Amino acid sequence: MKERYIHLSKTIDNLPLFHQPWWLDAVTPDNKWDICLTFDKMGNVTGVLPYCIEKKWGLSMSRMPPLTPYLGSWIADYHGQKRHGLYSWQMKILKELIRQVPGFHYAAWKFQPQIENWYPFYLNDYQQSTAYTYILENITERDKIWEGLKNTVRTDIRKAEDELIISNDKDVDLLFRLQEKTFLRQNSKVPYSKDLLHRIVNAIDKNQCGTLLFVSHSGGEPVAGQLLVWDQNTAYNLVMGMDNDKIVPGAIQYLIWHSLQIAAEKVSTYNFEGSMLPHVEPVFRHFGAKMTPYFKVWKDMNRWITLARILTGR
């Protein structure tokens, strides 16, 4: 099934970035992922549910891979006219996808914000919690987006335009160092390796769906950096790091504003990501984006995994 998906993925319209086989190859060790698929009578893919494969403590698990904010089920567009037909279409596909999921002791996905139906998972004893991200739509309407910013954000960006420089650079090690300093400020470590970040950047370069951005003083060292990625519809603020020893007011706001202009040349929607962090959420909120819910769906089949998840918060 996996090889078939790798071949067919190139023919699937609107397949999200994080569902692409090459993305899953980049973020999973030794390409340990597989796929559940459904098809219509013509052999077209109607449903996709990727899962990662992990063995730990003698138990089989499927968790979200690092630097992958969303995964879960994807369903092809429904072309009928009536709502009950749409729900029946979704139910049929999701039931079949769930049936194909291996018997993991623990399995979890974070669904794309567009996925509103997790009911078939509920019927199969999965649990659900709701998280939030901030999303800006119609980002090509630059003047309207600018007017939607908080007044102080606009002021910060104007000042930054006179004092700071944005550059495109493929210095992955620099971005990782900025991430280390960001997490150090939170008394924690970066939850992924530098090698993983290199693999992702190499993959997005090859597939032309992302860029690295840095903001600095003229002739100075960068004070903040960002990895921006996109698919056919949405750009994602995937990674952002800042040098805590060189905090420059407005640097992050200016960096985000610049990345919005780049994204607007590619897509119509911008997903800020990271919006559940209390010290980050206000920054994104002040850009006038819409607070948007998304689902985390999981199933525990082992009490020790349940206890470990509670203790670690995962």
DSSP readout, 182-214? HHHHTT---SS-HHHHHHHHHHHHHHT-EEEEE
8 Å CB contact between 156 and 249? yes
pLDDT at 304 (0 to 100): 61
Number of residues assigned to the chain: 314
State the CB neighbour count (10 A cutoff) for residue 249. 12
The continuous run of DSSP H or E covering 52 comes out as strand 45-52
On whether the CB atoms of residues 97 and 115 are closer than 8 A, the answer is no
Q: Is the pLDDT of residue 187 over 90?
A: no
**pLDDT average, residue stretch 175-182:** 94
Compute the mean pLDDT over every residue in the chain, rounded to the nearest whole number: 92
Q: Pairing state of beta strands 33-39 and 45-52?
A: antiparallel
Q: Which pair of structure tokens corresponds to residue 210?
A: 């992302």
Write down the pTM of the prediction: 0.93
pLDDT of res. 274: 77
